[in-house]
Structure 1
């Protein structure tokens, strides 16, 4: 059930039936010349909504903004600070706990390292603060890697990542009306270990992979496999002892 579409009585009734809440996190960030700025948010929302059709749980309204480091210079990227993201995740976790949530999944469609680290830090603090809360922080890129271990032929582009084959396929399956063709293959050329000011110089098009390899059927398969892995995660959380 999508919390944003529930009335107050419907929310109260839903919380009486389940203690599980998924909060989708995303970003407003460039995704090449062919994908919408909210691709990460839409990805997380789509997976969470499909998951909610398979098991009793609530899907929170998404958090649309995140920490975007390597794409800061690209048009359309709107980043927030680590402090802001940690505070937001903490406050949301506390509020859902107050409403009866005891199993919380922070599901992020944005996989930037500093972004994910901020969510993990918030999750660890919630664990200490709320002793009977079970919490998971799921980075969809890591989830995809788990999928590809079992289905290695599903993605054709080695090292595919941001706005590449996978994300293009997912958007072709979930929101095809928002996909503007397919961008050419590209990979960033950042120097190792060195932080650079002119980030777009080393990554002009904002694509990491080969979008031309993507198709909607592939995206549908990826989405369904991601949901299956999350179902297994929920089963693990339900059976864990404190």
Structure 2
């Protein structure tokens, strides 16, 4: 059930079927010269919609902005503060809880460490507030890289590389402009840098030249299967 497409009555009726909601957290961030700025959001939304086709679950409207530290100097990246993301996550989960939700999945299409730490902090705080709440925080990347090991050829592939390029070639092929080039960033270990593009000029972390729509379909399927298992466990077990 896609919340933004429901009427008030349909939402209320949906609560008779499930008290589970997935919130897609994305980003507006560079993804090389070949992928759209909305790549992270598109992936989280697409997997949410497919999940809703398989089982009763609410899919909340996506969050199009995230904490994008490493790519903040690249053209097109629009980043927010960690405090902003945490506050937004807290408000959303609180409102959804008041509407009757008891199982919440915060699924991030953006894999930034600082970004996901903010979501984890918000999740821990919400658990302390509401003893009846069950909550999961996870990223598309962790699911794709873990479940798709036998599909992905590029070791260490991450941002705008083989995985993400394959996913978008499968789900939104009209938005892929070329294929990009293999690249890995060279940030100095432990040192914060002002000119981030100096150490990561192309904005790719992996090898998009190895991507294909066929791989994207296979990766999406294993991600979906893993997510469905997680939701089933969240709904049935006590944590």
Tell me if both proteins adopt one fold, taking TM over 0.5 as the criterion: yes
What does residue 119 of structure 1 align with?
Answer: 119
CA RMSD of aligned residues (A): 0.9
Distance in 2 between the 1:237 and 1:208 partners? 32
Partner of 1:233: 230
Tell me how far 1:184 sits from its aligned partner.
Answer: 1.0
Output the CA distance in 1 between the equivalents of 2:37 and 2:209: 19
2:95 match? 95
Displacement after TM superposition at 1:158 (Å): 1.0
1:59-88: CA deviations, max 9, x gaps?
Answer: 000000000000010000000001100000
Q: Which runs of 4+ in 1 moved over 3 A?
A: none
| 2:215 equivalent to 1:218 | yes
Q: Report the counterpart of residue 76 of structure 1 in structure 2.
A: 76
- Stretch moving more, 36-45 or 134-143: 134-143
Cα deviation per residue 1:122-154 (whole Å; 9 max; x = unaligned)?
000000001100000011121123303xxx330
How many angstroms apart in 2 are the aligned matches of 1:45 and 1:221?
A: 17
1:189 aligns with 2:181: no
Aligned length: 239
Shift of residue 116, structure 1, vs aligned partner: 0.3
User: What's the TM-score once normalised by structure 2's chain length?
Assistant: 0.98
Residue 41 (str. 1) matches residue 41 (str. 2): yes
Q: 2: CA distance between counterparts of 1:216 and 1:193?
A: 36
Kept in 1, the 8 Å contact 2:144–2:163? The answer is no
Alignment of 1:24-173 (within 5 A): 24-148=24-148, 152-173=149-170
State the match for 2:4 in structure 1.
4
Q: Secondary structure at the match of 2:50?
A: helix
Give 5+ residue unaligned stretches, structure 1: none
1:199 maps to which residue? 196
Partners of 1:127 and 1:143 lie apart in 2 by: 23
Residue aligned with 1:41, SS: helix
SS in 2 for 1:212: helix
